[in-house]
Structure 1
Amino acid sequence: MKFNALIPELSVKDIKKSKWFYIEIIGFQLEYERTDDKFAFLSLNGAQIMIEEVNGFWNTGVLEYPFGRGINFQILTNDIQPIVERLIQNEFLLFREPTVNEYKSKHNLIKELEFLVQDPDGYLLRFSQESSS
């Protein structure tokens, strides 16, 4: 496995609950884990994240819900709809409903269908797919 140049590591309150959310609900794959450290390395369509149960080693301040204030993680996928359906079936509230957004880049206009959801610890996740509409 090739590691990305940037891989966020998220502190989580309950590693089992977070693994269930990311793997069973979102669709990430478990690449490897260190159960003694309550750590997991996950991937989805080339996106990579690490999750580790809060242990006090990395805290620069008090951790309060929602974790990760001021940041959202954009994760590209081929089709957001199955993820949305699993979230709704499991009674997760979407932070933002699926919407087509346009973003200007240096040479063109990018259109993406995207939605946002908070994970069990409040991290804001933005799932997007290319949109032709």
Structure 2
Amino acid sequence: MYDQLRSLEKMILDIKKQHQLVSAELSSLKQKPNADPKELAALKTQLDSRNTEYATTKKQLADLDKRYQSLAEAHHMIGEEQDKLQTQLGELQQQNRELLQQNNELKQQNSELKQQNHDLQEKNLLAAERTQVVLKRLTRIDQMEG
């Protein structure tokens, strides 16, 4: 077990040495970075490309926002128009109910007038028949007197 502890201690020391080397190298790189001109040019090109993409995307976003605002306004106007139409529909339905009621009342009056007309026609017919009977009697009376 003692050997294992020594082995672990040695591994820890090796890891510490590697850590110090890597840390020193990292510190050195931070102090004086190696700038590869090709890599730097490629990164600048990539940056320019990304900036162009960003500007294009930003413009597209602005265009989409304008379109959204336009659609939202149109939607609002359609909603207002729908409310107006709904109000008109309610008014027309009320007018329709009133007209149907008037129509039913007029039909009832028409039916009553037809009945009155029928009754008057019967009375008129009866009166005409009686007048004929009276005229015949008067004619007989005149003929008897004459």
Same fold (TM over 0.5): no
TM-score, normalised via structure 1 length: 0.13
Instruction: Looking at secondary structure, tell me which structure has more helix per residue.
Output: 2
Which of the pair has more CA radius of gyration? 2
Instruction: Looking at secondary structure, tell me which structure has more strand per residue.
Output: 1
TM-score, normalised via structure 2 length: 0.12
